[in-house]
Structure 1
Amino acid sequence: MRDELLRRFAGFGNRTALFDQGTGFTYEDLLNRIHHTRDRLAAHGVAPHDVVIVHGDYSVDSIATLLALFLNRNVVVPVVTLNALALDTLVEHCRPGYLVRTGTGLDIQDLQPSGDPLARRDGQQRAGTASMIGRLSTEDAAGLILLSSGSTGAPKVILHNLDALVSEKLTKRPRRSSNALNILMVLMFDHIGGINSLLSALLVGGTAILPRQRVPDEICGLIEEHRILVLPTSPTFLNLIMVGGYHRKYDLSSLRLITYGTEPMSEELLRRVNQNFPGVRLLQTFGTSETGIATTTSESSSSTYFKISDDSVEYRIVDGELQLRSRTQFLGYLNSSDDALTEDRWFRTGDLVEETPDGYIKIKGRAKEVINVGGEKLIPLELESVLLTSPLVEDCVVYGRPNAITGQSVCVDIKPKGALTRMAVRKHVLEFLSGRVEPFKIPSKVTVVDSIEMSARLKKIRSRRGNSEA
Structure 2
Amino acid sequence: MDGPTALVFEQQEFTLRQLDRLTAGLAARLSDRGVSTGARVALMSSNRPEFAVAVRAIWRLGATVVLLSPAYKRGEIEHAVEVTSVSHAVGDSALLAGLMPMIDLDEPIETDDTYVADGEPEEPNPNADAVLVFSSGTTGMPKAVRHTHASFGAAVRHWRGALGLTADDRTQIVTPPSHILGLLNLMTAFEVGAQVRLHRRFDLDSMLRHIESDRITIEMVVAPIALAIADHPHLESYDLSSLRYMMWGATPVTPSVAETITRRTGVPWVPAYGASELPVITCNPIDGGARLDSVGRAVPGVRLRVVDLESGRQLETGETGEIQARSPSLMAGYLPNEARAEAFSDNWYRTGDVGAIDADGWVKLTDRYKEMIKVKGFQCAPAEIEAVLHGHPAVVDCAVFGVPDAVTGEAIVAAVAVAGTVEATELMDRVGERLASYKRPAEIVFVTEIPRLPSGKVLRRVLKERYGRTSDQ
Query: What's the TM-score bracket when you normalise by the shorter of the two chains?
Result: 0.5 to 0.7
Are 2:47 and 1:58 equivalent residues in the alignment?
yes
Question: 2:412 touches 2:440 (CA, 8 Å); kept in 1?
Answer: no
Q: Aligned equivalents of 1:402 and 1:19: distance in 2?
A: 45
Q: Aligned equivalents of 1:103 and 1:21: distance in 2?
A: 21
Instruction: Pick the aligned partner of 2:168 from 180, 194, 208.
Output: 180
Q: Which amino acid aligns with 1:464?
A: E
Instruction: Pick the aligned partner of 1:88 from 78, 85, 101.
Output: 78
Written as runs of structure 1 = structure 2, the 5 A alignment for 1:293-442 is 293-294=280-281, 296-298=283-285, 300-319=289-308, 320-335=321-336, 337-368=339-370
Aligned-partner SS, 2:153:
helix
Q: Which amino acid aligns with 1:362?
A: K
Question: 1:263 touches 1:459 (CA, 8 Å); kept in 2?
Answer: no
Over 3 Å counting, the alpha-carbon distance change for 1:403 and 1:98 in structure 2 is closer
Q: Which amino acid aligns with 2:205?
A: D
Q: What's 1:132 paired with? A: none
Are 2:222 and 1:243 equivalent residues in the alignment?
no
Query: Percent of counterpart pairs with the same letter?
Result: 23
Over 3 Å counting, the alpha-carbon distance change for 1:109 and 1:61 in structure 2 is farther
Q: Aligned equivalents of 1:457 and 1:222: distance in 2?
A: 29
Over 3 Å counting, the alpha-carbon distance change for 1:164 and 1:338 in structure 2 is closer
Q: Aligned equivalents of 1:167 and 1:370: distance in 2?
A: 26
Question: 1:187 touches 1:232 (CA, 8 Å); kept in 2?
Answer: no
Instruction: Pick the aligned partner of 2:27 from 24, 38, 48.
Output: 38
1:237 to partner: Cα distance: 1.6
Q: What's 1:100 paired with? A: 90
Q: Which amino acid aligns with 1:201?
A: A
Q: What's 1:260 paired with? A: 248
Question: 2:135 touches 2:276 (CA, 8 Å); kept in 1?
Answer: yes
Q: Which amino acid aligns with 2:225?
A: F
Question: 1:78 touches 1:189 (CA, 8 Å); kept in 2?
Answer: no
Instruction: Pick the aligned partner of 1:148 from 135, 155, 159.
Output: 135
1:165 to partner: Cα distance: 1.3
Q: Aligned equivalents of 1:402 and 1:24: distance in 2?
A: 49
Are 2:229 and 1:227 equivalent residues in the alignment?
no
TM-score by length of 1: 0.66
Question: 2:280 touches 2:299 (CA, 8 Å); kept in 1?
Answer: no
Aligned-partner SS, 1:288:
coil
- What whole-Å deviation, never above 9, does each CA across 1:345-381 have from its counterpart, x for those lacking one? 211111121332322111223235799xxxxxxx955
Question: 1:75 touches 1:145 (CA, 8 Å); kept in 2?
Answer: yes
1:154 to partner: Cα distance: 2.6
Q: Aligned equivalents of 1:40 and 1:97: distance in 2?
A: 15
Q: Which amino acid aligns with 1:334?
A: L
Q: Which amino acid aligns with 2:91?
A: R
Over 3 Å counting, the alpha-carbon distance change for 1:234 and 1:246 in structure 2 is farther
Aligned-partner SS, 2:235:
helix
Are 2:157 and 1:157 equivalent residues in the alignment?
no
Q: Which amino acid aligns with 2:284?
A: T
Q: Aligned equivalents of 2:409 and 2:36: distance in 1?
A: 50
Q: Aligned equivalents of 2:412 and 2:51: distance in 1?
A: 37
Q: What's 1:189 paired with? A: 177
- Greater CA deviation, 292-301 or 223-232? 292-301
1:36 to partner: Cα distance: 1.1
1:97 to partner: Cα distance: 0.5
Aligned residues: 363
Q: Aligned equivalents of 2:59 and 2:250: distance in 1?
A: 26
Question: 1:99 touches 1:109 (CA, 8 Å); kept in 2?
Answer: no
Over 3 Å counting, the alpha-carbon distance change for 1:15 and 1:370 in structure 2 is closer
Instruction: Let me know the Cα RMSD of the aligned residues.
Output: 4.2
Are 2:6 and 1:17 equivalent residues in the alignment?
yes
- Greater CA deviation, 163-172 or 360-369? 163-172
Gaps of 5+ in 1: 1-11, 113-136, 372-378, 389-393, 405-452
1:261 to partner: Cα distance: 1.1
Q: What's 1:283 paired with? A: 270
Are 2:205 and 1:217 equivalent residues in the alignment?
yes
Aligned-partner SS, 1:305:
coil
Question: 1:55 touches 1:100 (CA, 8 Å); kept in 2?
Answer: yes
1:282 to partner: Cα distance: 0.8
1:343 to partner: Cα distance: 3.6
Q: Which amino acid aligns with 1:83?
A: K
Higher RCO, Cα 8 Å, sep 6+: 2
Over 4 Å off, 4+ runs: 107-112, 137-140, 149-153, 170-173, 368-371, 394-404, 456-463
Question: 1:72 touches 1:142 (CA, 8 Å); kept in 2?
Answer: no
TM-score by length of 2: 0.66
Over 3 Å counting, the alpha-carbon distance change for 1:458 and 1:355 in structure 2 is farther
Q: Aligned equivalents of 1:234 and 1:346: distance in 2?
A: 27
1:73 to partner: Cα distance: 1.4
Q: Which amino acid aligns with 1:198?
A: L
Question: 2:244 touches 2:268 (CA, 8 Å); kept in 1?
Answer: yes
Over 3 Å counting, the alpha-carbon distance change for 1:138 and 1:261 in structure 2 is closer
Q: Aligned equivalents of 1:370 and 1:331: distance in 2?
A: 21
Q: What's 1:419 paired with? A: none
